[in-house]
């Protein structure tokens, strides 16, 4: 789980509506064995059949996916992950990737700050982080109801937005 400052402003849905363009890769980051930390992989798994975007379940070692994502040549990379937003569990917020700290509470082998920089350098894509506030991230706990509801909301929205044939013609 990452601790980040986040940008308040228009809702995340409206921001994504204006931010996602071209070939979109959706990367799910997290550990499904640690409760709400599995939010990213859960979103990606449910998106696999409902969108024109390319889903990547990068799990707890996103650094292993830099080359496969770069080979796909996305214009936009949307990363979904559990992020400490200082909000209620299940809150959803776009996070400026420059606000991801270079150390601290990451559950991933390579810090997400370094990973974001590396991925952006290799893809030249626009990087977007969609964070979900976790409630429980202990080992061997299930996903909480509020975070599961956030997963469903994200999947429904992205399915509508990225499944749109007008969007796919830009890809």
Chain-centre distance of CA 159, in angstroms? Answer: 14
- 0.75 exceeded by the pTM? yes
CA separation for the pair 70, 36 (Å, rounded) = 28
Residue 122 resides in a domain:
yes
Residue 168 resides in a domain:
no
Residue 170 resides in a domain:
no
- Give the domain extent around 93: 2-162
pLDDT in tens, 3-56: 444 444 459 999 999 999 999 999 999 999 999 999 999 999 999 766 789 999
Residue 27 resides in a domain:
yes
Residue 167 resides in a domain:
no
90 contacts 83 by C-beta, under 8 angstroms: no
Domain count, the chain: 1
pLDDT in tens, 121-164: 999 999 999 999 999 998 978 999 999 999 999 999 999 999 85
Which tokens is 77 given? 């990379």
53 contacts 105 by C-beta, under 8 angstroms: no
SS3 83: strand
CATH number, residue 47 = 3.40.50.1450
């Amino acid at each position: 789980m990452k601790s980040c400052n986040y940008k308040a402003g228009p809702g995340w849905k409206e921001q994504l509506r204006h931010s996602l363009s071209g070939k979109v890769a959706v990367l799910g980051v997290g550990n499904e064995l640690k409760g709400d930390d599995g939010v990213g992989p859960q979103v990606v798994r449910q998106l696999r059949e409902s969108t024109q975007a390319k889903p990547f379940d990068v799990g707890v070692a996103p650094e292993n996916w830099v080359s496969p994502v770069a080979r796909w040549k996305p214009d936009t990379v949307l990363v979904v992950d559990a992020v400490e937003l200082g909000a209620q569990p299940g809150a959803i917020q776009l996070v400026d990737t420059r606000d991801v700290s270079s150390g601290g509470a990451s559950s991933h082998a390579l810090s997400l700050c370094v990973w974001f920089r590396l991925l952006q350098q290799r893809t030249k894509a626009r990087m977007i982080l969609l964070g979900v506030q976790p409630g429980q991230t202990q080992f061997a706990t299930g996903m909480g109801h509020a975070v599961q509801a956030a997963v469903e909301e994200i999947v429904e929205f992205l399915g509508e937005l990225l499944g749109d044939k007008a969007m796919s013609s830009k890809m």
